[in-house]
Amino acid sequence: MEPALLDAVRSGDRKALSRAITLIEKGASVGELDRHVPIVGITGPPGAGKSTLISELIRVIRERGETVAVLAVDPSSPITGGALLGDRIRMQSHVDDPGVYVRSMATRGHLGGLAEAAAGAVRLMGAAGFDRLLVETVGVGQSEVEIMGLADLVVLVVGPSWGDHVQADKAGVVEIADVYVVNKGDRPGAEDVRRALRETADARNAHVLMTTATAGKGVAEVLAEVDRLIG
């Protein structure tokens, strides 16, 4: 990748960042870049409300005066190969905020919950000077363990339909989480899921938090827990 483009990314040029990420998706390589903030991965099954929770996290982060970049990995369209944006529309309220950068990326058949170009894209985002870096996995469930190798901290988001303790133990993604979030906490079954996750969380010295992201409830507490663990 051309040094001039990387210099523009480092200077905070958002258009240059978008161009550079597109080149990464097309196969260009980028070496090690300076990154001064940790990467927070957000994973979990479809329908758990990850995108809504991230949108609310963005709101809280911006209220603090911090900037944030989000890489949202989505399933690929079987027709175009591009990202099926799904619930990404929930982040559109931040689209005109210069302190927020959201990039969707298609998996293009890559397994593990991320896209092949995700690591390079996050390195670019880290070099662009954002205060926060968030990565949302595609949402396919048990196989989403690749985020563990990319993120410094992993947040698992589940909903009231996640299942009982036995089902939770069988899901490999549960074993990689640092923070557990039961979203849609206002719905029946949410407290049961929190109890089911508690033993696994306790074994990892982790906390199980309850949120209702659509109402913004519990979101600030999630960010506070992330900050506590990051130190």
Coil, helix or strand at residue 18: helix
pTM value is 0.86
Domains and CATH numbers, the chain: 35-230 (3.40.50.300)
Closest to 25 measured CA to CA, from 113, 103, 140, 139: 103
pLDDT bin (cut points 50, 70, 90) of residue 78 is very low
Q: What's the pLDDT band for 90 if we cut at 50, 70, 90? A: low
Which pLDDT score is estimated for 34? Answer: 81
Report yes or no: 218 and 185 within 8 Å, Cβ to Cβ. Answer: yes
pLDDT in tens, 118-145: 889 999 999 999 999 999 987 655 445 6
- Mean pLDDT along residues 194-223: 93
In the prediction, which pLDDT does 148 show?
76
Please state which of the ranges 65-69, 78-82, 197-201 shows the lowest mean pLDDT. Answer: 78-82
Task: Count Cα neighbours of 222 within 13 Å in the Cβ-side half-sphere.
Answer: 32
Query: Rounded to whole angstroms, how far apart are CA atoms 153 and 43?
Result: 11
Per-residue tokens: 117: 């170009």
Cβ atoms 14, 5 nearer than 8 A:
no
Q: How far apart are CA 194 and CA 172, in angstroms?
A: 17
* 105 contacts 69 by C-beta, under 8 angstroms: no
Q: Tell me the mean pLDDT in the region 77-82.
A: 38
Task: Give 76's pLDDT tier (boundaries 50, 70, 90).
Answer: very low
What does the pLDDT look like over 43-64, one tens digit per residue? 888 889 999 999 999 999 999 9
- What ranges make up the beta strands (E) of the chain? 39-43, 68-74, 100-106, 132-136, 153-158, 179-182, 208-210
Average pLDDT over residues 180-185: 96
**Inter-residue contact 160 to 94 (CB < 8 Å):** no
